[in-house]
């Protein structure tokens, strides 16, 4: 039987999904970072882990403000993307090519988060939850900025590569 029957329940589901995604990033980015070679890319990953931890805490606060616990849902998409980044490390020799592949995996994560935050923004606006909508908007913009930073890292890594 379906349990989600109104916008509030759907927003709670969205918050829980985002919470698990941020939790997965916060918990697993250290090992992703250990597989990166480029110092700038590694620094980005470290900053993204800190950002994810903070966003995770913000999502928990929003869930609690809605009278719900934040956990209990698995963000299958984000966790699969992190598996993909681990697989890149297992199959591609350490160095620029692995870093290039891993920027692709992490960009998928940022875009996944960006569109998920947009769903949360829309639902919060629908429900008149202005503070939550504003918080989600900041986080959506953070994901967008993070993706743009990864795009620049990708260009820099590729600029240092020969074609052979
Ligand atoms: Fe995030």
Residue 3: what pLDDT?
Answer: 79
Whole-number Å distance, alpha carbon 110 to ligand 1 midpoint, is 7
Residue 2: what pLDDT?
Answer: 67
What is the 3-class SS of 105-119, one letter each residue?
Answer: HHHHHHHHHHHHHHH
CB 57 within 8 A of CB 41: no
Model confidence at 1: pLDDT above 80: no
Model confidence at 17: pLDDT above 90: yes
Whole-number Å distance, alpha carbon 13 to ligand 1 midpoint, is 17
Whole-number Å distance, alpha carbon 123 to ligand 1 midpoint, is 18
Whole-number Å distance, alpha carbon 55 to ligand 1 midpoint, is 6
Whole-number Å distance, alpha carbon 22 to ligand 1 midpoint, is 5
Whole-number Å distance, alpha carbon 34 to ligand 1 midpoint, is 19
Percent of the chain with pLDDT over 90: 94
Model confidence at 156: pLDDT above 80: yes
Residue 133 burial (10 A CB sphere; 0-12, 13-18, 19+): middle
Residue 46 burial (10 A CB sphere; 0-12, 13-18, 19+): middle
Whole-number Å distance, alpha carbon 130 to ligand 1 midpoint, is 20
CB 40: neighbour CB atoms within 10 A? 14
Residue 27: what pLDDT?
Answer: 97
Query: Residue 163's pLDDT band (boundaries 50, 70, 90)?
Result: confident
Residue 160: what pLDDT?
Answer: 84
Residue 20: what pLDDT?
Answer: 98
Q: What is the mean pLDDT of the chain?
A: 96
Whole-number Å distance, alpha carbon 30 to ligand 1 midpoint, is 15
Model confidence at 4: pLDDT above 90: no
Render pLDDT for 70-123 as a digit per residue (tens, 0 to 9): 999 999 999 999 999 999 999 999 999 999 999 999 999 999 999 999 999 999
Render pLDDT for 55-74 as a digit per residue (tens, 0 to 9): 999 999 999 999 999 999 99
């Amino acid at each position: 039987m379906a349990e989600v029957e109104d916008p509030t329940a759907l927003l709670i589901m969205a918050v829980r999904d985002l919470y698990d995604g941020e939790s997965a990033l916060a918990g697993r980015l250290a090992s992703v970072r250990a597989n990166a070679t480029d110092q700038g890319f590694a620094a980005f990953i470290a900053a993204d882990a800190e950002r994810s931890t903070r966003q995770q805490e913000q999502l928990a606060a929003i869930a609690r403000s809605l009278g719900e616990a934040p956990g209990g849902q698995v963000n299958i998409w984000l966790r699969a993307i992190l598996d993909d980044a681990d697989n890149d490390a297992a199959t591609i020799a350490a160095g620029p090519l692995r870093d290039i592949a891993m920027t692709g995996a992490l960009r998928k994560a940022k875009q996944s988060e960006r569109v998920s935050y947009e769903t949360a923004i829309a639902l919060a606006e629908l429900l008149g939850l202005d503070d939550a909508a504003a918080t989600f908007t900041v986080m959506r913009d953070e994901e967008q900025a993070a993706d743009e930073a990864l795009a620049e890292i990708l260009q820099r890594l590729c600029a240092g590569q020969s074609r052979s």
